[in-house]
């Protein structure tokens, strides 16, 4: 099989992601998060990132706890069912160390679609009249210090086609790098996502550079045999990183379920910065192979999904 765009995680992050970039992450909470790529970002010590992530999970929380994030646009951050609000994120915001802007989940995903279409803003009605209209996490004045953030959270404007009603003009993000985990990818960068796609296609199209990690590397010829099943075109993918269990401890549809044991452990260790720092040393600042060895073959086998049901049968979830 030809090499094409296939690289290691280390090569991909070093080549395309730089300090001060706007980074967008795919997946949803505990579903298909690009954990292996995030661990590599932390290992390389990339700092001052502005993060976009829709419904984020522990991967973004790890970036915050490791000191990689300068500002964040977010609608939700939790390891659902294990940590209701991710703890490193919450502490950083409560202590005034992390500027964070809050959009509704539907509005943020609409903004990603607008970015994919090349639009500078999208008009919505969703947040008009809510607290999100009046309570800004990052003020106009603060935004002057963050070049990757838009100058305003949004602008209210009368609907030019329906006078008397208001629209909320939402700025679209200018994404430097998108990191996404998929089930299958080819050396050319053709990607196939099984299950829900979330915002992944839009951020891949919107980003200046897209890094994709995958469970399986499949030939271009095989991917082209069923083009209707493909999700992201190779034309917008810069790097392909084959890395089985690259979304662990989140789930990856058709391959493995989320890992309750690992998510419970993260809930415990993320309660204090000291415990989190030890976790970084033991489970993040190591190779992916060493990380999987730490999890153990028996635990990884228990996560494998049953193709009939779509989840791991018999998995202890509490």
**Where are the chain's structural domains?**
1-118+174-318
The pLDDT score that the predictor gives to residue 135 is 87
Contact call for residues 28 and 78 (beta carbons, < 8 A)? no
The pLDDT score that the predictor gives to residue 219 is 97
The pLDDT score that the predictor gives to residue 307 is 82
CATH number of 1-118+174-318: 3.40.1080.10
How confident is the chain (318 residues) per 10-residue block, as mean pLDDT? 91 98 97 98 98 95 98 94 96 97 93 98 91 89 94 94 94 98 98 96 98 98 96 97 98 97 98 98 98 97 90 84
CB atoms closer than 10 angstroms to residue 314: 6
CA angle 182, 186, 191 (to 5 degrees): 35
Provide the greatest CA pair distance for the chain: 63
The pLDDT score that the predictor gives to residue 12 is 98
The pLDDT score that the predictor gives to residue 199 is 96
């Amino acid at each position: 099989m030809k090499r094409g765009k296939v690289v290691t995680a280390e090569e991909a992050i070093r080549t395309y992601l730089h300090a001060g970039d706007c980074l967008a992450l795919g997946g949803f909470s505990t579903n298909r998060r690009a954990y292996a790529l995030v661990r590599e970002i932390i290992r390389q010590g990339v700092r001052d990132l502005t993060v976009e992530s829709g419904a984020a999970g522990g991967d973004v929380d790890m970036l915050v706890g490791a000191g990689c994030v300068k500002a964040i646009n977010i609608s939700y951050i939790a390891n659902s069912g294990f940590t209701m609000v991710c703890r490193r994120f919450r502490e950083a915001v409560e202590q005034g160390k992390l500027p964070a802007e809050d959009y509704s989940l539907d509005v943020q995903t609409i903004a990603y679609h607008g970015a994919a279409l090349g639009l500078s803003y999208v008009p919505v009605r969703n947040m008009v009249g809510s607290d999100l209209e009046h309570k800004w996490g990052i003020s106009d004045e603060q935004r002057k210090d963050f070049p990757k953030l838009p100058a305003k959270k949004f602008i209210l404007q009368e609907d030019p086609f329906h006078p008397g009603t208001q629209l909320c003009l939402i700025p679209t993000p200018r994404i430097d790098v998108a990191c996404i985990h998929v089930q299958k990818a080819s050396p050319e960068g053709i990607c196939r996502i099984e299950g829900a796609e979330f915002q992944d296609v839009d951020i891949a199209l919107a980003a200046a550079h897209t890094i994709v990690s995958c469970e399986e590397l499949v030939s271009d010829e095989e991917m082209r045999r069923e083009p209707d099943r493909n999700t992201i075109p190779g034309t917008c993918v810069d790097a392909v990183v084959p890395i089985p269990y690259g979304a662990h401890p989140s789930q990856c549809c058709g391959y493995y379920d989320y890992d309750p044991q690992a998510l419970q452990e993260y809930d415990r260790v993320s309660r204090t910065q000291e415990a989190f720092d030890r976790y970084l040393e033991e489970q993040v600042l190591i190779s992916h192979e060493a990380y999987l060895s730490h999890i153990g073959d028996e635990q990884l086998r228990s996560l494998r999904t049953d193709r009939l049901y779509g989840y791991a049968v018999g998995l202890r979830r509490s």
